[in-house]
Structure 1
């Protein structure tokens, strides 16, 4: 055989046939075993603490933060929960991300999605201590952000790959329609923007990172405290989608999100079928005492848009604001009556009014004020927060258990004030104790973060629409989804 080429058949026909066959087969068994063990550990990205999808939400409770370690804004001594700070993690910084591996030279669409997300996590982690990323439009800077570089990198990664599938089922006005010119206007504005968006919206559910359930605020009109019909509408809608779409049954929980600003939306969202109990809820009324979970849910601003464009943005400089603090409004909720009782018409520096006199502009008063009081209402949210930001007035939160908008990115304590209800009698003393230089810095920061609360049609980069999407994107980044055929076949 020395003068011939090696031949498999001749080799097998020689001596020690059984031994040669074993030598060929055993390595394949060893490689198969190693591959199966490796697959069990695909989720060790180094970006999150726990990556087991089946147990992530079962382990979550009001004292834990989903894959994150430090709180952002501890509002009103918020001890029930920690507020999400997306860029402060307790992971091993030296660990490298382990990307999902291709099987047999091929990769499923789901694998590709997870590979992209793992790469995004690695880029965000690297950006936290890096030199920053160039951007001709806007580069976040300053203490208004928990980590401006990480936020910017995350935002760019979102622009590069984030895809949202919006269900087409449902008839207006209960679905695909919501108010656009009221205090619930963000429902309609977001719904319209996402359904008209060709960049983030995908019509292919297989390439979607998240799925949007377009339930509008009109479903609440004309109802009393009986939530039965509304809950049935929501339940029937979700059940119909789950039955129609195979992918609707794949990891239903955190890949779906709803958005609502109506006072009654929280009770309805909690009535969803069991698989959707842990879906992402994007809510104006973000109150932890009523089930809002900052690590899973998203707090977004309530914006009262009575006109098609925002014409009242801007105000006087810090040095020209002559009123210490301002509030005008009725006795809505438990906090406003306390404010009026202690301060109505009792101090020229503290302009606390139930009704504005004729000829006095509400927004002009805000433009002249250093601080604007933002007491929470019955359900927690208040459009005064955004109105204060629009007019360059430093917001003063008076709330119990409310989570400010976009707390996953924004460091609210750097440009706002927090006062507990019990400290309302000491309101003037607290505000006067803030040094002038510190107030000037806070006021400038309010102006700088204003772009994140602006509403545009069509949306502009870093505006409120994109900030809402970014908050949903962050929750999706903290989730690894494994394809489970048994779920899809149920």
Structure 2
């Protein structure tokens, strides 16, 4: 990662020397974007970038210096193809026989705990590592009432958006993840947040959601889905591109740049 840090440091030095207006706020009215796990670390190569600029990061980890009042949480989106419209939609609550589902690698501090407590323990809580050959990950999400989204090596997971696309209420498991677009979206209305310490109580927490409450949550998932959509072709109003820019704009409002004196 050291070569990346040097590259970023040199890049900022070159640009700020060529375009002096970049220095007028010491970076506070500029932003950087990175969806790589290394984004937070390499941004520390430049003090102004780390402390002043708006960092738009998938790895929105508050325990690693992510500041929700200044930085922007970028949703991870894993598209199977450019035909985005074919990757959305799912059945109603009555046609989802599985209470909760997760399948994925055993890595990071959270997933080992989830697998320890729930792997092959309950029939209606389908928690496993990688699925057997022939079992469709997408179909399992469409058959599930809740889709578990535990942190891995990093706090963010594309499962959150996958769940929203497939109309499965996401369950965010982790303590330090700053959720995307939380300035305008009420995540508690369409998702469930479970602390790491509450993993043993996972089924009790999800079973406490009444059928009527779940139906409302699933409807809200459908409503907010457009804010996570990657449009085919040009961006469309309220899609993820515009939501990201809106989040940046909100933080830019907090910065006042004084005009230089004559």
Structure 2 length as normaliser, TM-score? 0.95
| Distance 1:237-1:339 versus aligned 2 partners, 3 A rule | same
Shift in Å, 1:358: 2.1
Match of 1:294 among 68, 74, 78: 68
- Following superposition, the deviation at residue 298 of structure 1 comes to 0.3
Tell me whether 1:284 sits opposite 2:58 in the alignment.
Answer: yes
Aligned pair count?
260
Q: Does 1:241 align with 2:28?
A: no
Mapped contact 1:239–1:273 kept (Cα < 8 A): no
User: What is the aligned partner in structure 2 of residue 271 from structure 1?
Assistant: 45
What does 1:17-32 correspond to in 2, within 5 Å?
Answer: none
Q: 1:365 Cα shift?
A: 0.8
The reply to whether residue 482 of structure 1 matches residue 261 of structure 2 is no
Take 2:12 and 2:188, find their aligned partners in 1: how far apart are those partners? 39
Q: Once the two structures are superposed, what CA deviation does each residue of 1:119-168 show, in whole Å capped at 9, x if it has no partner?
A: xxxxxxxxxxxxxxxxxxxxxxxxxxxxxxxxxxxxxxxxxxxxxxxxxx
Q: Is the 8 A contact 1:253 1:276 kept in 2?
A: no
Distance 2:116 2:20 in 1: 57
Q: Provide the TM-score with structure 1 as the length reference.
A: 0.52
Runs of 4+ in 1 over 3 A off after TM superposition: 273-276
| Aligned partners of 2:63 and 2:176 also within 8 Å | yes
The alignment partner of 1:270 has SS state of: helix
Alignment of 1:51-450 (within 5 A): 227-274=1-48, 277-310=51-84, 311-450=86-225
Residue 95 of structure 1 aligns with which residue?
none
How far off is 1:253 after superposition? 2.4
- Alignment correspondent of 2:243: 467
CA contact (8 A) 1:252 1:276 kept: no
Gaps of 5+ in 2: none
Deviation of the 1:309 alpha carbon: 2.4
Aligned CA distance change for structure 1 residues 275 and 349 (closer, same or farther; 3 Å): closer
1:371 CA drift (Å): 0.4
Q: Which has the higher strand share?
A: 2
Q: Give 1:277 shift.
A: 2.8
- Tell me if the contact between 1:454 and 1:463 (Cα under 8 Å) persists in the aligned partners: yes
Larger radius of gyration: 1
Q: Is the 8 A contact 2:89 2:167 kept in 1?
A: yes
Q: Secondary structure at the match of 2:87?
A: coil
Q: Extract unaligned runs of 5+ from structure 1.
A: 1-226
CA–CA separation in structure 1 for the residues paired with 2:186 and 2:148: 19
Contact 2:107 2:152 in 1 (8 A): yes
Matched residues in 1 for 2:133 and 2:221: separation?
Answer: 29
CA distance in 2, matches of 1:282, 1:408: 14
How far apart, in 2, do the equivalents of 1:291 and 1:306 lie? 32
Give the 3-state SS of the residue equivalent to 2:27 in structure 1. helix
